[in-house]
Amino acid sequence: MQRLAGRIAVVTGALGGIGLATARRLTAEGATVVLADLAEPEEGRRYADELDGLYLKADVTDEETVEALFRTAHDTYGTVDIAFNNAGISPPEDDSILQTGLDTWKRVQETNLTSVYLCCKHVIPYMRAQEKGSIINTASFVARMGAATSQISYTASKGGVLAMTRELGVQFAREGIRVNALSPGPVNTPLLRELFAEDPERAARRLVHAPMGRFAEADEIAAAVAFLASDDASYITAAEFLVDGGITGAYVTPL
């Protein structure tokens, strides 16, 4: 499928599990991808070369950097058609509200929520000028469901991403810009695998809630991003697109 032929996409958190799988998928569907992450240029360039795209070292919590990221993408390729605002962190210090300090709270809000505000703020002018664009902001199923194993700032930040996305989707709907939130369920990443190898009970406690009895693969999230980015999703905006294997719909799961 070449649904994204000729489109220019910016992906933040592009060297992570979901980001890299998505950069690869968007490229496979014909897009040219600008990859943005914290790694040094030499490391990032390896992936950009593989995909015939561009790597930019960019901390998405910094406004000047974000402005320069979208400006460089636009100056290099002439348009910015797709923005996948995906960078995020979930550090172990972000825990119960009773333990989580203000510094940790702020760091997670800056990385997960303020970054999405900055990326939307600096990409929308390009999309308005071309009267077309698709923005996909990564939220999470935890914005929908309460967990006793709390990550209080992470959860609140993803709730913010959902609300902000809805508002932007509505505000810019008549200007050809679609803005959607993608809410993955738990994804089978190296971090998750390591964590659960150390503590199988922790994995079992979560898997019991997953109707399919497994976590998502990053490619399955990437496929949803490619759909939302494409004209196949032309009537989808201001939506929360859940890719959670049914977790948020479940009460009792199969044995």
Specify burial of residue 213 (Cβ count, 10 A radius: 0-12, 13-18, 19+): exposed
**CB 94 to ligand NAD: min, Å:** 11
Selecting among 55, 77, 126, 154, the annotated active-site residue is 154
Sign of CA dihedral 35, 39, 44, 46: negative
User: Which of 68, 130 has the CB closer to ligand NAD?
Assistant: 68
User: Which of 30, 91 has the CB closer to ligand NAD?
Assistant: 91
Residue 22 interacts with ligand NAD (CB under 6 A): yes or no: no
Q: 3-state secondary structure string, 28-46?
A: HCCCEEEEEECCCHHHHHH
User: Which of 31, 56 has the CB closer to ligand NAD?
Assistant: 56
User: Which of 18, 164 has the CB closer to ligand NAD?
Assistant: 18
Residue 18 interacts with ligand NAD (CB under 6 A): yes or no: yes
Q: CB under 6 A: which stretch of 42-50, 100-108, 122-130, 180-188 binds ligand NAD?
A: 180-188
Residue 189 interacts with ligand NAD (CB under 6 A): yes or no: yes
Is 251 assigned a catalytic role? no
Instruction: Extract the runs of DSSP E, i.e. beta strands, from 65-192.
Output: 82-85, 133-138, 177-184
Give residues with Cβ within 8 angstroms of 106, minimum separation 6. Answer: none
Per rule CB under 6 A, count of chain residues that contact ligand NAD = 25
C-alpha to C-alpha distances, 63 to 60, 104, 122, nearest whole angstrom: 7, 20, 9
